[in-house]
Amino acid sequence: MRWRWVPLALGAITRIAALPSVAVRTRAEQVRRPIGVADVLPAPVAAVADETAWFPVPAGVTIVTTADPVAERVGTYLTELVGGCAPRPGNARPAGGIALLLDPAYEDEAYALEVDAAGVTIRAGGGAGLFWGVQTLRQLMPVSGPTVVPGVRITDRPRFAYRGVMLDVARHFVDVATVKRLIDLVALYKLNHLHLHLTDDQGWRIVSGTWPRLVSVGAATQVGGGPGGCYTADDYRQIVAYAQERFVTVVPEIDLPGHTNAALVAYPELAYPGVRPKPYTGTRVGFSALCPHRTRTEAFLTDVLGEVAAMTPGPYLHIGGDEAFRMPAHDYAAIVTRAQQVVARHGKTAVGWHELAEAPLHAGTVLQYWGIGSRARAVTAAVAAGHRVIMSPADRTYLDQRYSWRGPGRLWAGPISVERAYDWDPASYLAGVDESVVLGVEAPLWTERVSTQDEIEYLAFPRLAALAEIGWSPRATHDWVTFRHRLGAQAPRWEALGVAFARVPGVPWVSDAAAPSPRIPAPRDGGVAGDDRTPRRPPRAGGPDVDPPARSPADDGEVQAWWAPSYGVR
């Protein structure tokens, strides 16, 4: 997944060292300007502003919804945002009110938003579309002062069905509240999948009733030492339910047959004969392997994947499949073939990193491409056979990479500036993979060097907003010049929410505190999302052009590079 070395010639290394450094701490551009409809992010399919119409949202505004549980749920969510009355059923907008209406003329995630002097109407084919319409409405609401929404007519729908972010909780474990916080933030920008990388060499993070030592032994470590940790069944169900309320699908990953050292420490009888696994807290990859010939391996695959499938209502279960460097090809194929069969038996669709294409693929299995380069023959062949692809090219989407040559993060696939994260097309990046077979996009955040909420947010934002626009907006709207202005308009919103984002140079960050900003309601179950008007924590000390309050660890001796062979590395 994430090579720790790339074979560079000595001369190339010397040239890298000679390049001038451009640090993230370079002073960012600050602007003060009105925020309007043109600043909505991701860019909608069509938007027509009406500068003569403004709707002042009254206290206790009336909200009506289609008499349907999913519409009513979105109505309750909106009520918490605007302080309105409890939603009531209805089929038309009340005078001076807001209507959330299901309309079969629209697809599930598509919506139309109309704001005029008499109120707000959102129409959508399903609950997801209503929810995304509410997110757009939030961006039109001011961060402080009277809640007045500008007149507009927006019609919108997503380009790709799958728009996701991956959080690696195996290298460094984070608590439920931190995951909920991330869900709230990604939902602002219409991202609809959260991929949780739950297992790896350094730790096993999900409870197992049938293999208890996976938790009692395998969860006790993490990178650099520390207590590790894991999610109980209740923890995991909380995360899944919280995500579902925001129309985000959780995709759990049990990484195998490589990246399994934590499991092998807990159950050495799953390792190859003669191998004596020890707890691992470093960052190397490719040294562990689940043996297909051991008597208990079949039960392990059946039990563990079955347990996770039973706790996951979403359609996908990720089985990893990457960097199994220590295994013969036929052993690798045996494991991943059996894993796909188990996943299918539980009614789920298997997802795997693109190395999975080197083995036989079960019908419907989805590949996730993380490589660097425009060619991957096995992926092209799999696509030709009917398989779909999630695009996560490492040199465009990997959030653990630095923004520039200096600063927190890693460099093996980077640096990845915000412009670089934005300036690519999932439908033309990989030869033989066009838009018809691209399921969507995902930005992975690996945590070898990330352990706190602030570090997560600093590396994710603003680059995650770039991925959100790539995944949602039509290609015709793709333009860096206009995007950077939409991005800069998010600053007041992020400041109000206490997001530890990177004020990178090249973006005109808006500093007007009265700029429109969404409001995240405080969760009833103790989540961490707060109201925009009451920041969760004070702004970071030191002003807008300093590095975040996060450690910037040494590079552990890895060779840094900005390129990799065309077959891809992660």
Catalytic residues: 323
| Residue 370 amino acid letter | W
C-alpha span between 64 and 120 (Å, rounded): 11
- For residue 65, the surrounding DSSP H or E stretch is strand 63-65
Helix/strand/coil for 256: strand
Omega before 553 within 30 of 0, i.e. cis: no
CA distances from 338 to 221, 326, 334, 474 (A): 28, 19, 6, 39
Q: Strand 162-168 to strand 438-445: parallel, antiparallel, or no bridges (unpaired)? A: parallel
CA dihedral defined by 204, 208, 212, 214, rounded to 10 degrees?
-20
| Complete edge-to-edge strand list for the sheet that includes strand 88-89 | 46-56, 148-156, 111-116, 119-124, 97-102, 63-65, 88-89
User: How far does CA 109 lie from the centroid of its chain?
Assistant: 18
Amino acid at 401: Q
Distance CA 66, CA 90 (A): 6
Radius of gyration for the chain, computed over Cα atoms and rounded to the nearest angstrom: 24
CA 93, CA 116: separation in Å to the nearest integer?
Answer: 12
SS3 state at 226? coil
Could you tell me which of 77, 122, 80, 73 has the C-alpha nearest to residue 97?
Answer: 122
> Within 13 Å of residue 41, how many CA atoms lie on the same side as its CB?
30
Give the pair of three-digit tokens for residue 442: 């995902």
Residue 297: is it exposed, middle or buried by C-beta count within 10 angstroms (0-12/13-18/19+)? buried
